[in-house]
Amino acid sequence: MTRAQQKERTRRAIIDAAFAQLSPDKGFSSLSLREVAREAGIAPTSFYRHFADMDELGLTLVDEAGLMLRQLLRQARHRIEKNGSVIRTSIETFMEFVVGNSNVFRLLLRERSGTSAPFRRAVAREIQHFCAELADYLRKETACPDEFAQVQAEAMVTLVFHAGADALDASPDLRLQITHKTITQLRWLAHGAAGYGRRPKE
């Protein structure tokens, strides 16, 4: 095995170890270099061969999480083509992601309002990408007036992320309730945005 391959493998081990150590009780900021290194199977100081900082690791994790989000949106689109109900399908897809990758979602949630400004910016950027893609979709595929699409998309993402956050701590059937509630909220929003053109300002 080549040296570059080995290095990449260790790098992944570090990233995976970090994701694995995140939990409901442990955010990224309370991860320690030593623990991550231990779980990755390397000596503490070897960590520095791959990342200058824990911060650099963290930003890498956020990047990966953002990537997953965007893949999610495309997956939802495929499902919509076969299913029809846009809002319901999207939310259900999202909920599956949250439940199945809770560590990833929690990372975004926490660092969005965390103590590190660079982290906050990184998360904000990922979510903004997500919003922009959704806005595009709304413009093309729904009755939403073009100039409202972005604002509507942001509101929708806000509500859905919040629902996801609630779902993290919830039992499966409470999760269903949350899904229901969120669907209602998004429909109100879509309805309002579609039928409110007459009053664009103040």
Q: What string marks each residue from 97 to 136 as x (binds a copy of itself by CB under 8 A) or -?
A: ---------x--xx-xxxxxx--x----------------
Count of beta carbons in the 10 Å neighbourhood of residue 54: 16
Identify the residue among 3, 169, 171, 172 touching a copy of itself (CB under 8 A).
169
Q: Establish if 193 lies at the interface with a copy of itself (CB under 8 A).
A: yes
Q: How many residues bind DNA (CB under 7 A)?
A: 22
Q: Judged by CB under 8 A, which of 40, 72, 87, 165 binds a copy of itself?
A: 165
Residue 104, classed as helix, strand or coil, is helix
CB 24 within 8 Å of CB 106:
yes
Residue with tokens 């929708």: 156
188 binds, among a copy of itself, DNA, none (CB under 5 to 8 A by kind): a copy of itself
Q: Which two tokens stand for residue 182?
A: 């969120």
Q: By CB under 8 A, tell whether 185 contacts a copy of itself.
A: yes
Q: Residue 88 is which amino acid?
A: R
The tokens 């982290």 sit on which residue? 119
Phi first, then psi, for residue 155 (nearest 5°) are -60, -45
From the list 103, 150, 146, the residue with the least C-alpha distance to 128 is: 150
198 near DNA (CB under 7 A): no
Q: Which residues bind a copy of itself (CB under 8 A)?
A: 24-27, 29-30, 106, 109-110, 112-117, 120, 151-152, 154-155, 158-159, 162, 165, 169, 181, 184-185, 187-193, 195-196, 199
